[in-house]
Amino acid sequence: MRVLLVGGGGREHALALGLASDPAVTQLIAAPGNPGIAEVAELRAVDANDPAAVA
């Protein structure tokens, strides 16, 4: 399954680590993410407060 994780804080980092270790997750994308999340996910430069940009 492909997962989009929206945000870039500590909670999102913890979620990213958990999702990255789940064998059902085939692709993890974080928007906007942070340097720590970048170690386990592909980052996209998106304003998390702009619904149209996230979509």
Tens digit of each residue's pLDDT, the chain (55 residues): 999 999 999 999 999 999 999 999 999 999 999 999 999 999 999 998 999 988 8
Check residue 55 and give its pLDDT: 87
Q: Can you count the helices (H) and strands (E) in the chain?
A: 2, 3
Check residue 14 and give its pLDDT: 97
**Could you say which DSSP state residue 24 is in?**
T
Check residue 38 and give its pLDDT: 97
Rounded to 5 degrees, what are φ and ψ at 47? -75, 110
Check residue 48 and give its pLDDT: 87
Nearest to 21 by CA among 46, 39, 47: 39
User: What is the pTM assigned to this prediction?
Assistant: 0.88
